[in-house]
Every structure is written in structure tokens, then in C-alpha cells.
Amino acid sequence: MSRLHVGRRRLDWGGVGLYGFLTGFGLLMLMPLVYMASTALKPISELFLFPPRFFVQNPTLLNFRDLLLITGTSYVPFARYILNSVIVTAGIVAGGVLFSALAAYPLAKHNMPFKKIIFDMIVAALMFSPMVLQIPQYLLISQSGLMNTYWAMILPYLAAPIGMFLMTQFLRQIPDALLEAARIDGASEWRVFWVIIMPLLKPAIATFALFSFITAWNDPYPSMVYTTSENMKSLPLAIQTIQGGAGVIARVGTFAAASFLMIVPTLLVFVITQRMVLQTMAHSGLKE
């Protein structure tokens, strides 16, 4: 009994050490975010101190007020950039989830011809950088007459190999007997898909939606390339303009306030979906 007790104590100390290390590492990774939030709340008197202070001592919301005032007097209000990013990101996430689920269902649960070859092509597509497709995508969009529209910034990103891969692997864990029972009861394939498959796919959908949201929300490329109108520019491109001092703001605090407003939605989406993300990672291995 004493040896068992000693073994348990050693195991507990190992767990405490591991959790302590991971907690410290997590806090270290959070430091840039905390510093950005602190900078967004600093008054002018604390922004240019040397050596700089990590935490703000006299927090203020003047940087956020200046951001709204200065961009409000520009040709395009700051709220317009936010609206454009919301529309484009929502379209990419919703459309990507739908198309990925529609593609994953037959690959995982139907005996369609060449499905192994198609799935291998999807896996191979994961190895290529999205930058490889930028020139073909631009030629297709420009020749289709979709320039300066929201469709130009949404359509090229709907076919997402990572979403198809995650959902296909997740669907393979679902027993076929469940779907066969629904078909015996008279359910059509569309009803099986919407009533059974989509609810069971929630963890995979949440995971892909998180990845897709982060990519779409922070990517300035679509509005930079597919639009020439200032009214169609997105928030990441506006942040780049602010940082470069080409329009509007040169103050460090106001730029930090704009960056903080941009990263808040990403944090909220991550907090909402983190449990489902872990569940998907546990069921989306490379097993056939």
C-alpha cells in the first residue's frame, strides 16, 4: 500500500509540473495580446516612455474615440470597413461549411466511383500554398465580370480542402447503421443529410468555421486585388493603411485600438468553439 501511495504522489507531482509548464507557456503566448490591449488603453503620456511600460497605469478610451472621429471624417467611415469584413467573412464561412459538408457526405458514406482518388487529391491540395492559386483565381474573377463585388471576395474561397478533409474524416466515425435506419424509415438523402448528418457534424463544422473565420477575417488580399472602390475595402486593408500612415492615423495608440477591435471577434469565436475543436481533433485522424 505504501508503494502504491508513493506512485500516486509521483504521478500527481508530474501532472502538477506539466500543467504548470503549460500554464506558463500559455501566459507567455498571451503576452503580445495583453500588450496590444494595454497599448490601446494608454494615454499619450505613456505611449512614448522609455523604457516602455508593459501595463497601462492610467487607462483611457481616447484612442478608440480618436479612431472613430478621424475615420468618421474620411471618405469612407470606419464602420463601412467593418461591414465589408463581416459580409465577406460570413459568406466565406457559411458557404465553405455548406460546400465542405456536401462534398464530405458522399466521400465518406457513399460508394461513389473514384472516391479514393478524389479524397487523395483533397489531401494533396493541403500541401500547396494558397498563393499558388492567386493568379488563376484573379483571371477567372476578372473574366467573369465579378470585380468590385462581394462575390469576387467570397467565391474563390468556398472550395476549402481543409474543410472537406476534416468533415470526411469525422463522418467516417459515424456508424452506417444509423443512416440505413433512416433510409428504411423512408427518409430521402437530403433529409438524411440535413436531419442526421449536419447535427452530427457540429464539432467538425465548428473547427472548420474557426479556421475559416480566422483566415478570412485577417486576410487583406481579397479586397486588395478584387476591388478598386474604396467602399469595398475590408478592415484588414484599412488597418494596413492606418499602420502605413497613408490615410489617416499615425498615432501608435489609435493603431493599437484598431488592431484590438479587429482581434476581438476572433477571440470570441475561439472561446465559443474551443470544446468542439478538441472533439474534432480526437476523431479526425488519417485512418481509412
Query: Could you report the per-residue pLDDT of 79-97, keeping only the tens digit for each?
Result: 788 889 999 999 999 999 9
Helices 161-171 + 78-109 axis angle, to 10: 40
Q: What is the pLDDT of residue 96?
A: 93
Q: Are residues 127 and 250 in the same domain?
A: yes
Q: Are residues 53 and 77 in the same domain?
A: no
Q: Are residues 80 and 204 in the same domain?
A: yes
Q: Are residues 244 and 103 in the same domain?
A: yes
Neighbours of 66 (CB within 10 A): 15
Q: What is the pLDDT of residue 285?
A: 46
Q: Are residues 29 and 89 in the same domain?
A: no
Q: Are residues 30 and 122 in the same domain?
A: no
Query: Are 185 and 77 within 8 A, CB to CB?
Result: no
Domain containing residue 171: CATH number? 1.10.3720.10
Residue 110 located in a structural domain: yes
Question: Grid coordinates representing 59?
Answer: 487607462
Query: Are 207 and 281 within 8 A, CB to CB?
Result: yes
Q: What is the pLDDT of residue 211?
A: 87
Per-residue pLDDT reduced to its tens digit, 160-200: 888 899 888 888 888 888 888 888 888 888 998 898 888 88
Q: Are residues 29 and 102 in the same domain?
A: no
Residue 199, CA distances (Å) to 91, 101, 205, 250 in order: 20, 11, 9, 48
Predicted model pTM? 0.78
Q: What is the DSSP string of 158-208?
A: S--HHHHHHHHHHHTTS-HHHHHHHHHTT--HHHIIIIIIHHHTHHHHHHH
Count of domains forming the chain: 2
Q: Are residues 99 and 186 in the same domain?
A: yes
Which residues in the chain land under pLDDT 50? 7, 246-250, 285-288
Domain span at residue 132 reads 73-283
Residue 26 located in a structural domain: yes
Residue 30 located in a structural domain: yes
